[in-house]
Amino acid sequence: DTGVSQDPRHKITKRGQNVTFRCDPISEHNRLYWYRQTLGQGPEFLTYFQNEAQLEKSRLLSDRFSAERPKGSFSTLEIQRTEQGDSAMYLCASSLAQRESDTQYFGPGTRLTVL
Amino acid sequence: ILNVEQSPQSLHVQEGDSTNFTCSFPSSNFYALHWYRWETAKSPEALFVMTLNGDEKKKGRISATLNTKEGYSYLYIKGSQPEDSATYLCAYYGGSQGNLIFGKGTKLSVKP
């Protein structure tokens, strides 16, 4: 399978713990995006990378959140001191970005539950 | 604040019925409108990317139209099948940011 993969698929944690999620994009894609979906809402943008550079961050991305893409390939999203409000589906997507409107291909998501 | 609205929120139809959904988006600074289908426990699947006013796209029994001047797109499903059951998301790309702005989706349930 050469699509976008995410790990883990599910994560249950206690409030106050740190969690880290991984995203492996489609190999030739240079753009990588993180979105979050909470119950009853559409996916909301968190941040995106072009190669290893983080080009944009949403106001939703508080200082407890950090994302990296060290070699321009896979990316990690870390949430420190998790809160119950962080419970959501975290989606990763990648695109080739030859044109700005190119399709973003999504992974299956990581569902986070904070108890 | 850029807002993307989808209606209806949910839809229940019988197998064989045809159906359609609406996506409303800002008509200014328009670059593209994306449609995705998201089945439970799977990745959102890209259906269409539409960029030109009057665009019509088709994929099997699913088709979509685009009106950028008035800021809406319709998605049509002809002869719904149970496997069409999913949440259908539209997303606006305005060009001034790197990300898509999604609607809340329309959840379609097709009963056999």
Contact state of A48 with B49 under an 8 Å Cβ cutoff? no
Average pLDDT, chain B: 93
Residue B54's Cβ-count burial label (10 Å; 0-12, 13-18, 19+) is exposed
Interchain contact A91–B (C-beta under 8 A): yes
Residue entry with tokens 């995106």: A48
CA A80 to chain CA centroid, Å, is 15
Contact state of A44 with B34 under an 8 Å Cβ cutoff? no
Measure CB to CB from residue B99 to each of A40, A56, A107 and give the nearest one: A56
pLDDT digits (tens, 9 = 90+) for A48-106: 999 999 988 888 888 999 999 998 899 999 999 999 999 999 999 999 876 667 899 99
Give the span between the Cα atoms of A99 and B23, in whole angstroms.
Answer: 23
- Per-residue confidence (pLDDT) for residue A32, from 0 to 100: 95
Q: Which residues on B lie below 8 Å from A1 (Cβ)?
A: none
pLDDT digits (tens, 9 = 90+) for A80-92: 999 999 999 999 9
In this predicted structure, the answer to whether residue B65 has a pLDDT above a threshold of 90 is yes
pLDDT digits (tens, 9 = 90+) for A6-34: 999 999 999 999 999 999 999 989 999 99
Interchain contact A102–B (C-beta under 8 A): yes
Contact state of B98 with A48 under an 8 Å Cβ cutoff? yes
Interchain contact A16–B (C-beta under 8 A): no
Burial B78-107 (b: 16+ CB within 10 A, else e): eebeeebbbbbbbbbbbeebbbbbbbbbbb
Interchain contact A40–B (C-beta under 8 A): yes
In this predicted structure, the answer to whether residue B98 has a pLDDT above a threshold of 90 is no
pLDDT digits (tens, 9 = 90+) for B9-58: 999 999 999 999 999 999 888 889 999 999 999 999 999 999 999 999 99
